[in-house]
Structure 1
């Protein structure tokens, strides 16, 4: 462990698929990790050398801060419990399933004087960070048009993902990464227009589904995001193209770029497939170390609680657009609290 993180004790809440990369990352920085979960804690602890704690209160009493990796619908309740206990919080995306809930959690953290960070890990993937740095440096001039895509083997065949009230569907669960990227790379969003095929019916997401969202940014730039939950075994792929008046930035995980995302080692057809980097340090490790250093008084992290709330707002606006068939004006949408 680095000196700045010496003696770190982390409370990991949840033991599902994403918990594996979080557990591995915390162990890589030398942290002591306490894990609490309704299911799977013992197996996760045995695999990664963690300590099982039988209650949430037990974790909150001993951990320096908590890392929430539970299903999306539980994020708010657990985050508020941690904040009430005076603990700083790291929370997997989406921060909550509604922006109103996200702001409730943010306000609670501010009132309690604790810090809150949403785990939007794509900001820590090398290609995306390189694009951000290039745009900030003016390498491609003023951004005009951008495209982002993301596809994965659908998790909606079983479990809670198919219930939109619990997962938010493909936009909130998968595309939320690229909605955050579009805003990060192209600036604040003014309008959102979205379509999905097949449509969600009676709150149940199709198992295999594709969604398309077009964003207009304050700068005049236009960005398009596509997210697909594909058939079982669909290869995870992601990429972007960002064009400015002086050049274009392109990346695809399938291209010969010297950087490749792969399925998690040992994944099976029933697992949620999580991309890993085969070049250099895991972005999950980079992310969690940056958050931990920030929580101990280091430099500000590159993603803040407000970013998590805004990504949720954009996903909600996309859902509203799909329901109405019309573009959504973000100023009106936010000011009227027009969220489900």
Structure 2
């Protein structure tokens, strides 16, 4: 990263983040369950419902904790945590446990379960396991997960054509964030059909955006509605077209405007699960600013502002990944995203 105080994901950072994740991906309680009860028989414990992704307070956080661990293993296969990650995955990605996860998705009234946030993180995990560097064992784990992967890909392909409107919020139902992560999966797996659907959705939802009104942060955001839409467009547009689109979206960026996008959010109570989201906002903004800068000429004043904003947000958030379990169970994944991208 040009002229950045945070040039990328170092092994020291990755090991630190992986240690955090290893401490919570198999921690069943406390747990927040989003669960449709069809009958008394559906009153079950997290582990009974989700044989793999039962930890980390909730399903999606456990999934992206696994992604963090897979990324660490791929980049640093000889690190001090590598064998623990291999043992966890070998125990988790078995046909029996995958069948249990799939059975949950195939229950009645689960069509919106983890849509779209958890779906997108899961697809990023599935793609990570097949990337160069994971080797035959990574491919074997991905093959074991393949039935669940097919289920989630099918759900996303069915959802996008009927989603008339985007969801512009800083929370889990944000559609731009999900499009970006899902596009990374589609391109790595060569799923042109999914990539086309994502491109069509992004252009329909965000292609006409200009002179954006930036009403953020809210008190619950962990994503920037404006910046995530920009990153989604960066994922689907050729570079020159993105540059022209982004200039229309936020014409004052070269002058550091709007100021709120360049100012890290204040986190007043990290034991409050909603307020703690704001540490995640600072990390996800850093990821967005870096992704935007990567589409521009390094000497472009917009790119210079973007890199500086990313560094500022990272410096503010990185010391607080373990301040309380309300952030500890998920923030390290966003730190990896900020430092290493999708």
Q: Is the structural similarity TM-score above 0.5? A: no
Bigger share in helix: 2
TM-score normalized with structure 2 length:
0.29
Higher strand share: 1
